Every structure is written in structure tokens, then in C-alpha cells.
Amino acid sequence: MRMSNALIPTLRSTPAEAEIISHQLLLKAGFIRRGAAGIYTYMPLAYRVLKKIEGIIRGEMDNAGGQEVLLPIIQPAELWIESGRWQVYGDEMFRVKDRHNRDFCLGPTHEEIITDLVRGEVSSYRQLPLYLYQIQNKYRDERRPRFGLMRGREFIMKDLYSFDLNDENLDKSYKIMYKAYENIFTKCGLNFRPVEADSGAIGGSTTHEFMVLADSGEAEIVYCSSCDYAANTEIAACTPEKPKDSEELKEIQKVETPDQKTINEISDFLQISPSKCIKTLFFTADEEVIAILIRGDRTINEIKVQKIHPCNNLGLASEEEVQSITNSSPGFVGPVGLKNVKIYADLEVEHIINGVCGANEDGYHLINVNLNKDYKVECFADLRLIEEGELCPKCQESLNFARGIEVGQVFKLGTRYSEALNATYLDSNGKKQIIHMGCYGIGVSRTLAATVEQNNDENGIIWPKTIAPYQVIIIPVSVKDEEQVRLAEELYKQLQEKGVEVILDDRNERAGVKFKDADLIGIPVKITIGKKTAENNMIEYKLRTEPEFIEVNYEEVVQKTL
Ligand code: ATP
Ligand code: MG
Ligand code: MG
Ligand code: MG
């Protein structure tokens, strides 16, 4: 690439709208341009980096047995109604209508569509395990799109879905993916840590997030220096807590719950500090939920309700949704279940919703749904934040706190989607069994930003070699000096012939400007061709990671660069 032709619009000053370093540098170095809030164009350099990251991901996914597909971005509402997520996904979902007024969404994730695909294509145990993945744009109407590519509303994700015979095999798939993720983030040159996490909206049980350590990270993690314990603080303290016993639940039932409460009132009522009101579920001894507290941008879909009864759907929905499910899903018996569920989303917003239960098989009438008989809630206890000074729940050593950027997450979904969408196979005895699923996401565009967040200095980006847009930049100090130009062109040609990705800065600019740009865009190797080269064959060879250049003989430089 010749710099004189390249679209690398570097800026002299730091754009004021960018709060964190990766966002500033990606704008300043001409890697990205904003289209709308949370929506970006990847400029030529960024697109090269993305393809490198994707290449690393593809390599690991294929190696693990994955097959790449490309699923539709536009997804029909029916599938989401079938899984029970059409309503609960809430405002984060971009919804669109076609000319016939039919509902669709722009895929925020692809569990529904892929489970639908697999239920149509897989029928025998011989076809499993099956790992399908894609690398594609995802759409989420984030409440606070920010930090450039970190939290976009349109962003690139790799998502793989595993389909297994049973839980034991799912466990194996999970381990394979976990390992592949470690390889991917290591190859990208990132300092990261896998942590135990909350399965949130997506359902399922075991899950880990891959966190890139950075002060600007939106997540807080704790880790132990003596053992392998590491967790997102969202869940860190919930594990050791005991469920409230029914005595206590009855106590709570006696307390009058007014219709409207603020977080402070509720925290008084629960006798916990407001900062700990992250998630608190209170069920009475029968099926009534009296209070669910969810703070900040956490939404109602994060409630973990686990069913015991063989019904297909147990979720939370508005009055309207209950009606629409009943009308639109044949075989869905109900609607009733949880009553008087009150959700306090945050200080201003309050949703009052109904619970719904249903079944796909005749005879499973779900009136008189009972807590602990038909369903149970995974955590009755306050899921409070772990605090400074608390000890590791595994080994009782002291814990360290850090901030992290979630670049990936692996989930064991179990039968959450396969059951709802009826994805089954016939086992070797010809008996129908439910497929066990896992899903594994990587934020590809976020990984690019996270790499910059971790690899930079006062002069700009420092790309790890594995994902750098180009490996080498050649800078002739003066393009007016014919000999310098000849040597630079010659070297450019030789490196290209050897397959090295190289930029020749052939612009008629001052050397200082070229050096500044080379550092800003972060090319790993900078080769300067100046007077010394023309006179005695010496070039200045500088690694972006090193403070000083070294002198290398012109003849040896190709060898050194390979
Ligand atoms: P977050 O907690 O940051 O909102 P998430 O847990 O909602 O992310 P997942 O559903 O686990 O995200 O999606 C898989 C991966 O996609 C995430 O680990 C992250 O790297 C990436 N990702 C999620 N949301 C965004 C976004 N708005 N912009 C860029 N990447 C994202
Ligand atoms: Mg999210
Ligand atoms: Mg998350
Ligand atoms: Mg996640």
C-alpha cells in the first residue's frame, strides 16, 4: 500500500467526544468513523485488523470442529414468541415490520434461529455433536452506546452454538470452546482472565466471561492470587449464600408492599444497602412474587426462574403478551402462573408484569402453579456485591479487584432453547431425546477496541504483530532525494514479493509528520531510509514496542523483517 493513495485520515487533535483511550486513538488514527450513535464505519486499516482477528477466531473454531454458516440478520417474531423472549428482550431489541405488518427483529443474538434450523435438519444421534458458528453483525439498541466500538448498537460478533446428546457431552463441548477462547485471546496478544459469570437473560447455568483487564472496563471482577477463583462481582458473592427458608419467606409475606417504592425505601425494607440491591428476588411461600429489584440497566429478563414442572414456558410477560401467547401458540395451555409480580427496574421505572406458564403437551394445565413444586427460583438470597476485604470463597485467601472488558462469553444453555423450540433427536434405541445446547460469543469489534485499550503509549497504538493492519512501514525521509526513493521502492518491492504486508509512505510530507503517523497507526516495524542509507547502506530499523531504533544493513533488512 502506498500512503499517498491510502484512506488513513489521521487527525492532529484528539476528538472531544471520545472518553477512553481506545476510542480516541481509533478516531485519531483514522480507523473508524461514526455513522450514528453506536454505529461505525470500519475504515481500511480497521477492516484489515478485523479480518486478522476473524482469521484467528476462524482458525480456532474450525480446529475445534466448528462449521461456519451465515444466518439471517432479520428474524421473524414467531421464533422469539416460541422461545418466550419476544417480550422479555425489551427495548434492546431493534424491531421492524414488513409491508404486511408482520413483526421481525434485527438479530441481537441467534439462539432462536439456529435452534429452528437444527430442529429441521437434525433427527438422529449420529448427527451430533454439531458445532455451527458465524461471524456477523449483531444489533442491540443499547441504552448507553459508548466508548466507540466497545458498546455499539451494530457490532460484529462471532457466535458458535454447540448441539450435544446429553449434559455430559455438552460439558466436553464447553471445555473445548473454553480452551479455544484462551487460545484466541492469547493469539490476539491480550492480557485477559476468564471469570465465573451470571447467565442473565440468555438462560442456562454454567457460564464464564473472558475479561480483558483494563481500568476503563465496564465490569468489575474479583480474583484470588492463591487459587484459580475469579468471578464477575455481579455473582461473586451469591454462591456461598444460603437460600432463605420458608419461615423467613412467610415473614416477608406479612409485610405490606406498597405499589410504588424507591430503591431507598426498598433497601430500607429489605435492610440492605441500596448498592446491594442489584438483584433481589422475594417469593412468598406460595406463588406470589412480592418484590424483584433490578438496578441500573438490568432488565426483567435477568430473573432466573427454574422450572421443575414439565411445562415448556415459564417466563414473565405483560398482560398483552399473555394474551398474544395464548392466541398465537397452539398447544400453549394457560395463561396463569405467577401473580402480582412487581418489578422495580430503577428509581423511575416500574413495570408490573404477569408470569406465564404453558405447555406444549395436552394435559399439562398449569393453573395452581406452585413454588418449589412447579418451579423454583435459583437464588432466593440477596445477590449482593462482594466487597473489598472479603476472602476468597474457595481458599479464604485475600481477593484482588480489577476492572475488565468482556470480550467473550461461553454458556451452557442446556435445554433452555431446545425444549422451548422442540429440537430433538432419536437415540440409538429410537427414543426421542432433547438436544443439549451451548453458545459461545466473542465481540470481534470489541476485541479490536480492547486491544487498543491495552496496547498504546503517548504516541499512539501499538498493534501486536498477530493482528496489525500492516507489519512494516517504510519511510523515505525525503521523497525529493532520488536515491532514497529508489532504495525505498526497491525494498518495498522485495518485501511485497516475500508476502510481507507493507506500507510505503511515499507522501511529499515532512519526515516528522510521517514518523508521527506511523507511530499513531501503530505499525510494528518502522524502516527509515535516509541519507545514511544512500551513503553507506545503513537503515534505521525500529520496533514500535522499543524506545530506540537500531541500524541494520540495507541488504539484511528483508531477512530481519521476515
Ligand atoms: P455486555 O455485558 O457488555 O452488555 P453482553 O453480556 O450483553 O455484553 P453477550 O450477549 O455475552 O454480551 O455477547 C457476546 C459478546 O459480544 C460479548 O462478550 C461482547 O464481547 C460482545 N458485545 C456484546 N454487546 C456488545 C456491544 N453493544 N458492542 C460491542 N460488542 C458487544
Ligand atoms: Mg449486553
Ligand atoms: Mg455481559
Ligand atoms: Mg455476556
Residue 450 has pLDDT above 50, yes or no: yes
Lookup: cell for 385:
456485591
Q: Are 174 and 206 in contact (CB under 8 A)?
A: yes
Band (pLDDT 50/70/90 cuts) for residue 324 is very low
pLDDT for 199 equals 57
Q: Residue 370 pLDDT more than 90?
A: no
Ligand 1 atom at shortest distance from the alpha carbon of 209:
18
Minimum mean pLDDT among 140-149, 289-298, 381-390, 510-519: which range? 289-298
Q: Alpha-carbon distance 511 to 304, whole Å?
A: 60
Distance, in Å, from the CA atom of 272 to the CA atom of 266, rounded to the nearest integer, reads: 9
> Atom 5 in ligand 1: which residue has the minimum CA distance?
406
Average pLDDT over residues 476-505: 96
Query: What is the pLDDT averaged over residues 62-89?
Result: 93
Closest atom, ligand 1, to C-alpha of 145: 27
- Helix 444-454 to helix 44-63 angle (10° resolution) is 110
Q: Check if 408 has its Cβ closer than 6 Å to any atom of ligand 1.
A: yes
Burial of 290 (0-12, 13-18, 19+ CB in 10 A): middle
Write down the pLDDT at residue 395. 84
Q: What mean pLDDT is reported for the chain?
A: 78
What's the pLDDT band for 390 if we cut at 50, 70, 90? confident
Query: Is the CB–ligand 1 distance for residue 159 below 6 Å?
Result: no
The ligand 1 atom at the shortest distance from the C-alpha of residue 152 is 28
Summarised one tens digit per residue, pLDDT across range 206-258 is 899 999 999 999 988 989 889 988 988 776 543 333 333 433 333 333 333 33
Q: Which of 81-90, 176-185, 189-198 has the lowest mean pLDDT?
A: 81-90
Burial string for 440-475 (b: 16+ CB within 10 Å, else e) reads bbbbbbbbbbbbbbbbbeeebbbbbeebbbbbbbbb
What distance in Å separates the CA atoms of residue 287 and residue 304, rounded to the nearest whole number?
15
Q: With H, G, I as helix, E, B as strand and everything else as coil, classify residue 341.
A: strand
Q: What is the mean pLDDT of residues 111-130?
A: 98
**pLDDT at 398 (0 to 100):** 87
This model of the complex carries an ipTM of 0.99
- Residue 52 makes CB contacts below 8 A (sequence gap 6+) with 466, 467, 468, 469
Task: Tell me what pLDDT residue 20 has.
Answer: 96
Q: Closest Cα to atom 29, ligand 1: which residue? A: 151
Cα distances (angstroms) measured from residue 436 to each of 173, 411, 458, 518: 10, 12, 49, 50
DSSP string, 359-424: -SSTT---TT--BTTTEEES--S-BPPP-TTPBPTTT-PBEEEEEEEEEEEEEEEETHHHHHTT-E
| Cell numbers describing residue 57 | 477466531
* pLDDT of the residue at 386: 59
Query: Which alpha helices (DSSP H) does 163-300 contain, by range?
Result: 167-187, 233-236, 246-254, 263-270
What is the predicted pLDDT for the residue at 209? 96
Q: How confident is the model at residue 296 (pLDDT cuts 50, 70, 90)?
A: very low
Residue 378 confidence (pLDDT): 33
Exposure of 107 by Cβ count < 10 A (0-12 exposed, 13-18 middle, 19+ buried)? Answer: buried
Written as one letter, the residue type at 172 is: K
pLDDT higher than 90, residue 365: no
Position with higher pLDDT, 406 vs 367: 406
- How many Cα atoms are found within 13 Å in the side-chain-facing hemisphere of 377? 29
Count CA atoms within 13 Å of residue 179 on its CB side.
9
Gyration radius (Cα) of the chain, Å: 28
**Residue 404 near ligand 1, beta carbon < 6 Å:** no
Ligand 1 pocket residue status of 139, Cβ below 6 Å: no
Query: What DSSP string describes 48-79?
Result: HHHHHHHHHHHHHHHHTT-EE----SEEEHHH
Is 151 close to ligand 1, i.e. is its CB under 6 Å away?
Answer: yes
Taking the centre of ligand 3 as the mean of its atom positions, its distance from the CA of residue 527, in whole angstroms, is 42
- The residues, any chain, with a CB within 8 Å of residue 283's CB and separated by 6 or more, are 249, 289, 290, 371, 377, 380
Report the alpha-carbon angle 334-338-327, nearest 5. Answer: 25
pLDDT (0 to 100) of residue 88: 72
Ligand 1 touching residue 217 (CB < 6 A)? no
pLDDT confidence of residue 359: 37
Q: In sequence order, which residues have a C-beta less than 8 Å from that of residue 319 and are 6 or more positions away?
A: 354
Question: What pLDDT is recorded for position 236?
Answer: 54
Q: Answer whether residue 419 shows pLDDT above 90.
A: yes
Pick from 225, 188, 196: nearest CA to 442: 188
Q: Which of 71, 245, 43 has the alpha carbon at shortest distance from 158?
A: 71
> 441 in ligand 1 pocket by Cβ < 6 Å?
yes
Is the pLDDT at 135 greater than 50, yes or no?
yes
What pLDDT sits at residue 152? 98
Reply yes or no on whether the pLDDT at 364 is more than 50.
no
